[in-house]
Amino acid sequence: MSDFFGDLKPLRFDPEGEDLGFRHYNPDEIVMGKRMEDHLRFAVAYWHSFAFEGGDPFGGRTFDRPWFGEDMDAARRKADVAFEMFDLLNVPFFCFHDADIRPEGANFSESLRNFEEIVDIFERKMETSKTRLLWGTANLFSNRRFMAGAATNPDPDVFAWSAATVKACLDATHRLKGANYVLWGGREGYETLLNTDMGREREHAGRFLCMVVDHARKIGFDGTILIEPKPQEPTKHQYDYDVATIYGFLKDFGLEKEVKLNIEQGHAILAGHSFEHELALARELGVLGSIDMNRNDYQSGWDTDQFPNNVPETALAYYEILRDGGFTTGGTNFDARLRRQSLDPEDLISSHAGAMDICARGFKAAARMLEDDALEAPRRERYAGWDTPEAQAMLLSDLDSISERVISEGIDPQPRSGRQEVLENIVNRYV
Amino acid sequence: MSDFFGDLKPLRFDPEGEDLGFRHYNPDEIVMGKRMEDHLRFAVAYWHSFAFEGGDPFGGRTFDRPWFGEDMDAARRKADVAFEMFDLLNVPFFCFHDADIRPEGANFSESLRNFEEIVDIFERKMETSKTRLLWGTANLFSNRRFMAGAATNPDPDVFAWSAATVKACLDATHRLKGANYVLWGGREGYETLLNTDMGREREHAGRFLCMVVDHARKIGFDGTILIEPKPQEPTKHQYDYDVATIYGFLKDFGLEKEVKLNIEQGHAILAGHSFEHELALARELGVLGSIDMNRNDYQSGWDTDQFPNNVPETALAYYEILRDGGFTTGGTNFDARLRRQSLDPEDLISSHAGAMDICARGFKAAARMLEDDALEAPRRERYAGWDTPEAQAMLLSDLDSISERVISEGIDPQPRSGRQEVLENIVNRYV
Amino acid sequence: MSDFFGDLKPLRFDPEGEDLGFRHYNPDEIVMGKRMEDHLRFAVAYWHSFAFEGGDPFGGRTFDRPWFGEDMDAARRKADVAFEMFDLLNVPFFCFHDADIRPEGANFSESLRNFEEIVDIFERKMETSKTRLLWGTANLFSNRRFMAGAATNPDPDVFAWSAATVKACLDATHRLKGANYVLWGGREGYETLLNTDMGREREHAGRFLCMVVDHARKIGFDGTILIEPKPQEPTKHQYDYDVATIYGFLKDFGLEKEVKLNIEQGHAILAGHSFEHELALARELGVLGSIDMNRNDYQSGWDTDQFPNNVPETALAYYEILRDGGFTTGGTNFDARLRRQSLDPEDLISSHAGAMDICARGFKAAARMLEDDALEAPRRERYAGWDTPEAQAMLLSDLDSISERVISEGIDPQPRSGRQEVLENIVNRYV
Amino acid sequence: MSDFFGDLKPLRFDPEGEDLGFRHYNPDEIVMGKRMEDHLRFAVAYWHSFAFEGGDPFGGRTFDRPWFGEDMDAARRKADVAFEMFDLLNVPFFCFHDADIRPEGANFSESLRNFEEIVDIFERKMETSKTRLLWGTANLFSNRRFMAGAATNPDPDVFAWSAATVKACLDATHRLKGANYVLWGGREGYETLLNTDMGREREHAGRFLCMVVDHARKIGFDGTILIEPKPQEPTKHQYDYDVATIYGFLKDFGLEKEVKLNIEQGHAILAGHSFEHELALARELGVLGSIDMNRNDYQSGWDTDQFPNNVPETALAYYEILRDGGFTTGGTNFDARLRRQSLDPEDLISSHAGAMDICARGFKAAARMLEDDALEAPRRERYAGWDTPEAQAMLLSDLDSISERVISEGIDPQPRSGRQEVLENIVNRYV
Ligand SMILES: [Co+2]
Ligand SMILES: [Co+2]
Ligand SMILES: [Co+2]
Ligand SMILES: [Co+2]
Ligand SMILES: [Co+2]
Ligand SMILES: [Co+2]
Ligand SMILES: [Co+2]
Ligand SMILES: [Co+2]
């Protein structure tokens, strides 16, 4: 037992409590027939919680953690503290990249050995911990070898390195019984079109993804393969721009049934969308998988990865997820990092606890809205005209016949109120 | 002959001239084996040039045109002035919506009669004018009946009205030998997700587009059907967000070979992309059709539709088009409106003349870059590693075999300079 | 009594009611020693509620109101309905521009007569209505004469017209016992720097404002003169960009004690700030006057003027106002318009009622946070180091002596946690 | 002589050359009566050129420089290469922060000794080099001690440290005969309003600046004190947001005659302005000092600090500077960093050379526009109505007398064309 968290006690549901605890998140509360823990499926992100040092583009490390260091001892200390935090938070899941959990070795093989040793440690810890793996992933963006892309690098050796890395991470995820495997293409994009063969890079990205899907099948991984959209940053343009873009890409490679999406609020915002838009679109396209529930500052043009703190926003997000039937393999990951001035161990706990409460409040509001049919009844009513046989027949007809009917029947459509403010008021009764 | 343009004379190529004329655009100059006029295929937009009254969200009409009015006489005067302007500018093409050219009638049939009468007038004028039709389109956004969408309206009667309208516009485009037909879905989107059935609306949009393609075939229209992307405005979210989004939509309805895109610089900017990105992506996806060469102010968050005025930017745009082999049915439309303070007839001529010169300068620079292999040689060299049989074999292999090779061969990729600034310098030798 | 609102009844506080009413806004509830009505001082905006026709840049009128028309009868019908709505909403204030309430005449004098006749009507209505005037203002942006600015127009005659108009509006505001007078410089800015003499225009704007302040004094108006910041739209750049910009302008003309600010959430967002930032800054600079509590869509780059609907946001706004001691002459105006699809009379009522409830919830949360010292105690503690005499002495010293001390004392400052997430959690206990 | 730059030769003006050289920048060419070198006053930024390692928020060091390291030997090697590069580029100026040029010591005194030793080295090198110091500055943002601000830190000890640091840097700048001293407040702002006492921090910032001005006078520094505006990043909000904001701040502390501004294109863009706007405004307010001529990517929401590459943009920037009479102590600094993929020594030279050429082209175009009175003649003409005694008398009058005149004279102002497109065409004849 490290003493990093001092005398902090495991957090409990205590709606009136003054200490660190959950005021709204009650894992065992039954909502829509299921425990909240099983609905929300919270996950801690290893990288932001344990590997982020507090740097930003204009400043270096601010955090002072006993596990910082580039050797295996440090990695082991980090793993100890991580599982202690999972216990304190009573969180059912975590997520990791290879690079978060092990030091880089002198070459691929050494890095792999380091990685596997820590995965062994995870495996042992998970025998006694309640915390399972929501997803694993590979960091194909931090090291300078990836500066011009991973699967889309002009150098085939980088493609090879990336493929070998994903194999290792996917194998480890499978071993740890991960529910999903995520790909985030942070360097799959370009800094300038002037040196980029976008068509060729797209082909390579497609082939790479096919290989990943094939490998998952081959090893018997029955979790979900997820892509995480983000429009830009670090690159000027990232190929996995948003939900709609990835959908077209998946269609091109015949993968729209094989691969789903891990959607992050902050990335939706950077792409010019609301979070609920991206979720709703993914649902309609059949590719809604999992979420990163970390917000972006609305006045910042870069990825701020902040913990969620706005109940009306989380309610609208969970509403779209509940309309999809709720998570299956997916869950609620906090791809959120402490502000770099939040130096204390308590900040790490408090930030997660607050986020879990915010999600719980939003989730419960969403569930009640859905159970009450509060939004769905008016929505159905608005489109009711399309439920007639005539309307359906028109959809299957042609311009000539429709045009004749418009003229012969003197069709003259009359607008009806869209009632946006009324519907917003309805939502506000629930949040 | 109206006297709107007073004693303005037809513009001519006069590189040293002080009067209104072209300093750079020489229609007959041969570039890459073709006349510039045939490369650039400039078009005047009827709506902005003749129907825009100078209003904005905080103010009404500023322009005072002798053809303003809501009757057929006004529409005829407008047509007269339009063709006079086409002659003055020596412009090979124009574009129009139904609503620009005719007054709205009391019902569909009357609007249609008005429309067809003006189309007759166009047909007669085009017998003697050199100016042809680049594309026709239907205005399915201004009238209040479209406030909740056209093909995606909750009311099937609006779908019907829209279908009948597109039939009329497509028929007219065919009659006038239009080279393309454009669909811009200004109201195909939503103001709030709360009242929107996005899945249903997407299905209706898809069926609508299929009907349009079918009708084009049926009447023997051999021009190109084009969709114009725009992310938002007037709606909060428009379904035809950007090139990548439309591509996924076309794939879903099996139309990616039938339909191409009309890409506007301003809309690319609003979607978070550079214009050249959208053009390059469309080219790689095989859907690059035509362009609206009007810029957006980089500091404004709405569609400013300004005439182009930056040669380095137009050069990069035409470079992507030339890499696609140049326009086939497409062309360079100026979907640009005068600033609302630019009240004078001369402003209308001068703005177009300046835009044509800017395009000509950019185009010639692009052609020289391509002929000199100035960017393509370094691009090929950057990806040369992929041209080996080994690299190609790897693309067809699997994660296991690649991983084995990485380990056994001790692969250790070394970064090479991306040379962005050097390439930017190269471009600047041409512009 | 018009029948526009049919059988809608005056809204009442009814926390559990299912009908249209207030669930949270109880005018008589005492918060921090004052009635909520007297704290919040809600106002209806005449322009959006009664003059907005539903148009946007791509479409015309959608609303169908019995009072639309450009004659005095229509203006009188509009006034009748307006005061009926004020009664239904039990709202203590309204706001207006000259152009909202009267038809434009053939010349200045006729417009003035029209205006004064309606002001007479208002005066009579206000004898029996509870609703008072929060502020009056002049519309110096819609008519084409203002296209290049009002006080900053290159034509001195437009300056003169604008001055005469403001005189009329300020006189009327005084007559109607308005609590404030607002200037929004929608056209005081530029479309292009190329034709603009920014220095000269700034001088004219300063002189104009001085004249307005002098006139207010002269007529004995003891309300507050307010400027409303907005960064752009309709113009590319507006001189009254944001709070900080206006402050510098006021300082230049010695008006920082004479003029305060009317701050709108949507305009704060467009300027790249949070609403609470603009409010806090205005408070620190001593120029916080009044608010327009209408939000901007976070994904739209133009002024959407939507009713507020997010309690955590309104809470942070009222918190800054309460830290300023609450409103004196200012209040909460809804410079908000219905979405153009919200066609029904009920939408007009429901939107305002929902907004008032959202504000009431936010306000009550803010008051509790302040009463509990929940944020102020940690804030004071964070800066406590500055309360020592040594720290204060240092502030009055010089670089040399400080440098000597840093070296001689070996000063080595140690960072302390900023606790952002903890503070966000505290806020979330209240909202 | 290090061999970092291999056999690269000093760059020369060679308009037709194929090698690395200047095609447009001829230091000795006389423009408007002065050598171009003396007009443009180019400076290399020490930090980006020699201290930037290629990191970004998602990746670490990509550059591999022989001078990287945290000891004094490394710092000396860096200085050697820096002055070699200044010679190769024939650049008349450079700029530095303390932290770029020396390793951080164990305490303030040791850091200071390291700094002074390198300053000694600079002094000796400058005896033989043509390159002088455009400005010095202090890095008060990278070290974790500054995470919550420098002059605005809640901890007075950080204020003290910052004051001592600025003293050292200002003294060194004075010793090296620097033409200016710059303050950029990268951490003077906030991450969250919740923990910030904005009023107190503003007071401290004002006092700090007063001390800096006093110290400059005391030591006889006759260069200019400059503040560099930036709206955000690294913080959510920076107090030195833009030109207008800083102007108000300077007025409050009576420093508007003592302090000028160093304006960066990229920061103007991030603040929602064009670069030429910020320059023109600073000129009108009398605070235009110097420029950082590095652009921001228009599609990125963070500070990209790229070398300029668009001639029309640089032309409009230098036009505003020439309207101010040109630089006095100021100059053209490239606060620009190589893209992190631009690994080669040649990239470092080529990027600067290209930037100098782009600036030279823009500058020469601007000078011709000004000499031809091409924009100023129409601008004067547009405002000519204000030059009459009547108009000037009106400016000094009051609302009552103006109103009387509007009514009695029946004033009815008529709009005149703003001719924006015509003026844009004029600019395009020059660029
Ligand atoms: Co993120
Ligand atoms: Co994420
Ligand atoms: Co447009
Ligand atoms: Co267009
Ligand atoms: Co507004
Ligand atoms: Co407002
Ligand atoms: Co910068
Ligand atoms: Co800078």
Q: What pLDDT, in 10s, does the model give residues A25-77?
A: 999 999 999 999 999 999 999 999 999 999 999 999 999 999 999 999 999 99
Alpha helices in D90-143 (DSSP H): 98-101, 108-128
pLDDT 10s digits, C33-58: 999 999 999 999 999 999 999 999 99
* Minimal Cβ distance to C57: which of B143, B234, B270: B234
What's the pLDDT band for B177 if we cut at 50, 70, 90? very high
So which residues of D are the catalytic ones? 97, 100
The pLDDT score that the predictor gives to residue D306 is: 98
Cα–Cα nearest to A212, from A263, A255, A152, A248: A255
pLDDT averaged over every residue in chain B: 97
Q: What is the mean pLDDT of residues A416-425?
A: 98
- Torsion A353-A356-A362-A367 (CA) sign: negative
Alpha-carbon span A397 to A380, nearest angstrom: 24
The answer to whether A317 and A311 are in contact (CB under 8 A) is no
- Quick one: D325 exposed, middle or buried, by C-beta within 10 A (0-12, 13-18, 19+)? exposed
Asked if pLDDT for residue C19 goes beyond 90, the answer is no
Q: Report in angstroms the alpha-carbon separations of A299 from A296, B270, D186.
A: 8, 17, 17
Alpha-carbon span B168 to B136, nearest angstrom: 10
% of chain A exceeding 70 in pLDDT: 100
pLDDT 10s digits, C166-190: 999 999 999 999 999 999 999 999 9
Say which ligand is closest to the CA of D335.
8
The answer to whether D208 and D159 are in contact (CB under 8 A) is yes
Alpha-carbon span C307 to C318, nearest angstrom: 16
Q: Could you list the residues of C known to form a binding site for Mg(2+), using ranges.
A: 228, 264, 267, 292, 303, 305, 335
* D365 contact partners, CB below 8 Å, separation of at least 6: D311, D315, D430, D431
Question: Which of B348, B421, B423, B426 is the best mutation test for D, with the most CBs of D within 10 A?
Answer: B421
- Quick one: A104 exposed, middle or buried, by C-beta within 10 A (0-12, 13-18, 19+)? middle
What's the pLDDT band for A256 if we cut at 50, 70, 90? very high
Q: What is the mean pLDDT of residues C318-341?
A: 98
Beta-carbon neighbour count of residue B60 at 10 Å? Answer: 14
Alpha-carbon span D105 to A284, nearest angstrom: 58
The pLDDT score that the predictor gives to residue C1 is: 73
Q: What is the mean pLDDT of residues B296-316?
A: 97
% of chain D exceeding 90 in pLDDT: 99
Q: What is the mean pLDDT of residues D9-19?
A: 91
Beta-carbon neighbour count of residue C1 at 10 Å? Answer: 7
* D381 contact partners, CB below 8 Å, separation of at least 6: none
pLDDT averaged over every residue in chain D: 97
Distance of alpha carbon B118 from its chain centroid, rounded?
Answer: 24
The pLDDT score that the predictor gives to residue B18 is: 80
The pLDDT score that the predictor gives to residue D2 is: 85
Alpha-carbon span C115 to C98, nearest angstrom: 6
ipTM above 0.95, yes or no: yes
The answer to whether A357 and A24 are in contact (CB under 8 A) is yes
How far, in Å, from the CA of D21 to the mean position of ligand 4?
A: 42
Q: What is the mean pLDDT of residues C199-217?
A: 98
Amino acid found at D138? A
Beta-carbon neighbour count of residue B387 at 10 Å? Answer: 10
Please, which residues bridge with residue B30 across strands? B35
Beta-carbon neighbour count of residue B105 at 10 Å? Answer: 14
DSSP 3-state of A247? helix
**H-helix or E-strand containing C134?**
strand C132-137
- Residue ranges near ligand 3 (ion) with Cβ within 5 Å: B 266, 303, 305
What's the pLDDT band for A1 if we cut at 50, 70, 90? confident
Compute the radius of gyration of chain C from its Cα atoms. 23
The answer to whether B159 and B206 are in contact (CB under 8 A) is no
pLDDT 10s digits, D147-177: 999 999 999 999 999 999 999 999 999 999 9
Q: What is the DSSP letter of C299?
A: T
Q: What is the mean pLDDT of residues A320-343?
A: 98
- Asked if A417's CB is within 8 angstroms of C341's CB, the reply is yes
Q: What is the DSSP letter of D374?
A: T
Alpha-carbon span B337 to B317, nearest angstrom: 20
Q: Is C214 a catalytic residue?
A: no
The answer to whether C385 and D153 are in contact (CB under 8 A) is no
What's the pLDDT band for D141 if we cut at 50, 70, 90? very high
pLDDT 10s digits, A398-407: 999 999 999 9
- Asked if A248's CB is within 8 angstroms of B407's CB, the reply is no
Asked if pLDDT for residue D19 goes beyond 90, the answer is no
Alpha-carbon span A155 to A145, nearest angstrom: 10
Number of helices (H), then strands (E), in chain A? 16, 12
The pLDDT score that the predictor gives to residue A17 is: 84
Q: What is the DSSP letter of A134?
A: E
Asked if pLDDT for residue B1 goes beyond 90, the answer is no
Distance of alpha carbon C295 from its chain centroid, rounded?
Answer: 11
The pLDDT score that the predictor gives to residue C342 is: 98
Alpha-carbon span A383 to A378, nearest angstrom: 9
Alpha-carbon span C265 to C305, nearest angstrom: 9
pLDDT 10s digits, D351-382: 999 999 999 999 999 999 999 999 999 999 99
Beta-carbon neighbour count of residue D30 at 10 Å? Answer: 11
Asked if pLDDT for residue C318 goes beyond 80, the answer is yes
What's the pLDDT band for A18 if we cut at 50, 70, 90? confident
**H-helix or E-strand containing C212?**
helix C198-219
Alpha helices in D222-337 (DSSP H): 243-252, 265-270, 275-285, 311-323
How far, in Å, from the CA of B297 to the mean position of ligand 3?
A: 11
D328 phi, psi to nearest 5 deg: -105, -85
Question: Which of C104, C193, C251 is the best mutation test for D, with the most CBs of D within 10 A?
Answer: C193
C344 phi, psi to nearest 5 deg: -90, 150
pLDDT 10s digits, C394-423: 999 999 999 999 999 999 999 999 999 999
Cα–Cα nearest to D84, from D134, D11, D12: D11
Contacts of B191 in chain A (CB under 8 A): 418, 420
What's the token pair of residue D323?
A: 């309207």
A82 phi, psi to nearest 5 deg: -60, -50
Q: Report in angstroms the alpha-carbon separations of B187 from B153, B236, B421, C337.
A: 9, 10, 42, 19
- Quick one: A415 exposed, middle or buried, by C-beta within 10 A (0-12, 13-18, 19+)? buried
The pLDDT score that the predictor gives to residue D1 is: 73
Cα–Cα nearest to D392, from B196, B317, C207: C207
- Asked if C422's CB is within 8 angstroms of A350's CB, the reply is yes
Q: What is the mean pLDDT of residues B335-352?
A: 98
What's the pLDDT band for C298 if we cut at 50, 70, 90? very high
Alpha-carbon span A411 to A408, nearest angstrom: 8
Asked if pLDDT for residue D393 goes beyond 90, the answer is yes
The reply to whether C54 touches chain B by the CB within 8 Å rule is: yes
Question: Which of D249, D402, D419, D430 is the best mutation test for C, with the most CBs of C within 10 A?
Answer: D402
Amino acid found at A304? T
The pLDDT score that the predictor gives to residue C18 is: 80
Alpha helices in B102-155 (DSSP H): 108-128
What's the pLDDT band for B172 if we cut at 50, 70, 90? very high
Residue tagged active-site, from B24, B39, B98, B100: B100
The pLDDT score that the predictor gives to residue A2 is: 85
Contacts of C108 in chain D (CB under 8 A): 406-407, 410-412
Strands B332-334 and C237-238: unpaired
- Asked if A351's CB is within 8 angstroms of C309's CB, the reply is no
C190 phi, psi to nearest 5 deg: -150, 155
